[in-house]
Amino acid sequence: MTDTTPKAALVALIKERSFQSGAKVKLASGRTSQFYFNMKPTMLHPQGAHLIAALVLQQLSEDGIEADMIGGLEMGAVPLAAAVAAVSAQGARPLPAFFVRKQAKEHGTQSLIEGLAKGENLTGKKVVIIEDVTTTGGSAIKAADIVAGEGAQVVRVITVVDRQEGAKEAFTTAKLDFKPLLTAEDFKD
């Protein structure tokens, strides 16, 4: 019998569009690996964006996580947070998106946090940090530190795929609640 759950559908789509193995690839963490996830082809695909958003919202609901906003470090978090925001509009509790710049713009508002309306800030907001692939957790921890510095409370860190190479331990050390949608184990045949 074929598994037709949203999680199984997402795994199949990632295998088709975003997963490669064999040749060594350098990762954002600086490490090299024989398996690689280029999540953009899945995140920017209509079905992929919808599945990811639905699974994020399902996880938050099932775990009783109440959040005011969702976002993370540019570039990987931008399409994810936008998809979650769009899908959440169909539910009882819309979840607006934001993103954290790697460095402030030199023009305009010169803000590190984008997506906030004039006069709006993160003070007192409960936020979820999201990213596409997690190896060591460095990008998500950087985003969490920046939003915490702006007065937000990080209530969960979610990644689409945890490579299971130390991120869980790094998030525990940083006292951040971390839960992936999928792990590297989901891609081993």
User: Which of 64, 41, 147 lies closest to 101 in space, CA to CA?
Assistant: 147
Average pLDDT over residues 56-84: 96
Residue of 4 and 179 predicted with greater confidence? 179
Per-residue model confidence (pLDDT) at position 21 = 78
Separation in Å, CA 164 to CA 34, 43, 106: 14, 20, 37
Query: 139 and 160 in contact (C-beta within 8 Å)?
Result: no
The model's confidence at residue 5, banded by pLDDT at 50, 70 and 90, is very high
Residue of 186 and 26 predicted with greater confidence? 186
Is the pLDDT score of 189 beyond 90? no
Residue 160 contacts by C-beta under 8 Å, 6 or more apart in sequence? Answer: 10, 14, 39, 42, 43, 52, 80, 131, 132, 133, 180, 181, 182
Placement of tokens 């559908």 in the chain: 9
Q: Kindly list the structural domains of the chain, giving each domain's residue range(s) and its CATH number in brackets, ordered by start.
A: 6-187 (3.40.50.2020)
Per-residue model confidence (pLDDT) at position 106 = 58
Per-residue model confidence (pLDDT) at position 91 = 86
Per-residue model confidence (pLDDT) at position 186 = 94
Residue type, 68: D
Average pLDDT over residues 145-163: 96
Per-residue model confidence (pLDDT) at position 57 = 97
- Tell me phi and psi for residue 45, to 5 degrees: -90, 140
Q: What is the pLDDT of residues 6-63, one digit of tens each?
A: 999 999 999 999 988 777 767 666 777 777 888 999 999 999 999 999 999 999 999 9
Q: What is the pLDDT of residues 86-134, one digit of tens each?
A: 999 998 889 999 999 876 655 555 578 999 998 899 999 999 999 999 9
Is the pLDDT score of 1 beyond 70? no
Rounded to whole angstroms, how far apart are CA atoms 50 and 21?
25
